[in-house]
């Protein structure tokens, strides 16, 4: 006798089909990557985002992560059938005037397009985000609280300009004269007028946003037209700071540790057999470290002037090291990319979750710092 068995629909699978990751359209993936770390957080000098795009439509099954995109790493990406390379450092930085086989960076573009591989770079956007490179580097110090050395401001703050100026005009003729001249000034935004009653008199109040440069011209104009008085207000428009976001980190250790202990922690975290050390004036390996300032990569400009017991970065100029040492600040250098590369493994896990496991995310095995001990 044939017996029918009822089963939940979720338990039924089509024979011969196994669960697998799906594909993502390149533009959908780029949008998701931009949501993971807004490119507006990158430094103005940086070259971030999608740098090389195969002709659409382009689907991505494998996302390949690397710190530096060298020719050796490119060949690895080709062999592993990558569809998009996420290179932390932008392989195209100085503008290319041609794409030939002559230079190695041109060859990267040629190879990428030949094999329909896109190239995306986040660089300093990943430095700024709370879950980025610098946050990962702080873990090498041990338990600590950290804040950005140079906080980022909200990129989507709607107000244009750096200043707002408001003033009153008592007659329509006077107002039109001034407004006609203001309209000739560059970098004036959001100019509005509205009626007000001042000291019992009906007047027109003018409000406008402007740049720092335009502010000087507006103030000079108001002074020439006798409108610069006690009723004039000048406000600085400050964009709100983004929490835990920005360049570099100032870390306060939960418990002070000796410099020698900190060195061992950093070597363990970065998986390095050695680091370079400059002892601050009056300091020894037994000196306690309570505050450490750090910046992944090249940290001179970010760390300069920060009060701390220790600077941790990849590289610094000779004279910036001398300045730090003279101020009693010890310096640990790990080579540029050694302070960044270890983040890729953590990044891979985060992106797998962020992209809802839709594509394969793999990390380069060939990527390495170009410097080695000889």
Q: What is the 3-state secondary structure (H, E, C) of 59-97?
A: EECEEEEECCCCHHHHHHHHHCCCCEEEECCCCCCCCCC
What is the reported pLDDT for 39?
A: 97
User: Do the Cβ atoms of 354 and 24 come closer than 8 Å?
Assistant: no
Mean pLDDT, the chain, whole residue set = 92
| Strand-strand pairing, 49-52 and 118-121 | antiparallel
What is the reported pLDDT for 229?
A: 83
The string of pLDDT tens digits covering residues 267-313 is 999 999 999 999 999 999 999 999 999 999 999 999 999 999 999 99
Distance CA 253, CA 257 (A): 8
Give 251's contacts (C-beta < 8 A, 6+ positions apart).
138, 141, 144, 145, 146, 291, 292, 293, 294
Question: Does 15 score more than 60 pLDDT?
Answer: no
Q: From the annotation, which residues make up the binding site?
A: 89, 127, 336, 340
Question: Does 158 score more than 70 pLDDT?
Answer: no
Question: Does 19 score more than 70 pLDDT?
Answer: no
The string of pLDDT tens digits covering residues 224-273 is 988 888 789 999 888 889 999 999 999 999 999 999 999 999 999 999 99
Q: From the annotation, which residues make up the binding site for a divalent metal cation?
A: 89, 127, 336, 340
Q: How many CB atoms lie within 10 A of CB 174?
A: 16
Reading phi first (left if > 0) and then psi (alpha if -120 to 50, else beta), residue 12 is in beta
Give the CA dihedral 241, 243, 246, 248, nearest 10 degrees: 130
Question: Does 16 score more than 70 pLDDT?
Answer: no
What is the reported pLDDT for 298?
A: 98
Question: Does 157 score more than 70 pLDDT?
Answer: no
Question: Does 34 score more than 90 pLDDT?
Answer: yes
**By percentage, how much of the chain surpasses pLDDT 90?**
81
> Which of 45, 4, 8, 16 lies closest to 247 in space, CA to CA?
45
Bigger pLDDT: 8 or 99?
A: 99
What is the reported pLDDT for 21?
A: 63
Q: What's the whole-number mean pLDDT along residues 20-35?
A: 91
Question: Does 6 score more than 50 pLDDT?
Answer: no
Distance CA 362, CA 205 (A): 60
Question: Does 4 score more than 60 pLDDT?
Answer: no
3 state DSSP class of 109: helix
3 state DSSP class of 205: strand
Distance CA 367, CA 68 (A): 6
Q: What's the whole-number mean pLDDT along residues 138-161?
A: 90
Q: Alpha helix (H) ranges present in 225-317?
A: 259-270, 300-303
What is the reported pLDDT for 13?
A: 34
């Amino acid at each position: 006798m044939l017996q029918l068995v009822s089963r939940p629909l979720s338990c039924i699978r089509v024979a011969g089909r196994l669960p697998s990751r799906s594909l993502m359209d390149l533009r959908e993936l780029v949008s998701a990557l931009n949501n993971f770390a807004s490119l507006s957080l990158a430094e103005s000098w940086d070259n971030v985002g999608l740098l090389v795009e195969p002709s659409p439509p382009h689907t991505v099954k494998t996302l390949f992560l690397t710190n530096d995109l060298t020719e050796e790493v490119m060949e690895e990406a080709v062999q592993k059938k990558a569809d998009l390379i996420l290179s932390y450092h932008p392989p195209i930085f100085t503008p290319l005037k041609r794409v030939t086989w002559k230079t190695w960076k041109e060859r990267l573009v040629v190879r990428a397009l030949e094999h329909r591989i896109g190239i995306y770079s986040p660089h300093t956007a990943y430095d700024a985000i709370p879950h980025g490179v610098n946050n990962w580097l702080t873990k090498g110090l041990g338990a600590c609280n950290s804040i950005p050395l140079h906080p980022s401001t909200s990129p989507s703050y709607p107000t244009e300009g750096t200043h707002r100026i408001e003033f009153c005009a008592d007659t329509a003729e006077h107002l039109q004269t001034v407004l006609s001249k203001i309209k000739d000034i560059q970098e004036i935004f959001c100019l509005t007028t509205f009626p007000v009653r001042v000291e019992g008199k009906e007047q027109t109040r003018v409000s406008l946003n402007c740049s720092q440069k335009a502010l000087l011209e507006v103030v000079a104009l108001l002074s020439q037209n006798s409108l610069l008085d006690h009723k004039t207000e000048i406000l600085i428009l400050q964009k709100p700071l983004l929490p835990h976001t920005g360049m570099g980190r100032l870390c306060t250790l939960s418990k002070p540790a000796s410099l020698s202990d900190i060195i061992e922690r950093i070597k363990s975290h970065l998986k390095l057999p050695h680091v370079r050390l400059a002892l601050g004036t009056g300091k020894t390996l037994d000196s306690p470290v309570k505050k450490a300032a750090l910046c992944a990569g090249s940290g001179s400009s970010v760390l300069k002037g920060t009060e701390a017991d220790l600077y941790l970065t990849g590289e610094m100029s000779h004279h910036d090291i001398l300045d730090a040492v003279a101020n009693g600040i010890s310096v640990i250098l790990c080579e540029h990319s050694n302070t960044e590369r270890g983040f890729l493994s953590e990044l891979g896990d985060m992106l797998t979750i962020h992209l809802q496991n839709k594509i394969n995310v793999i990390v380069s095995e060939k990527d390495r710092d170009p410097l080695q001990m000889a």
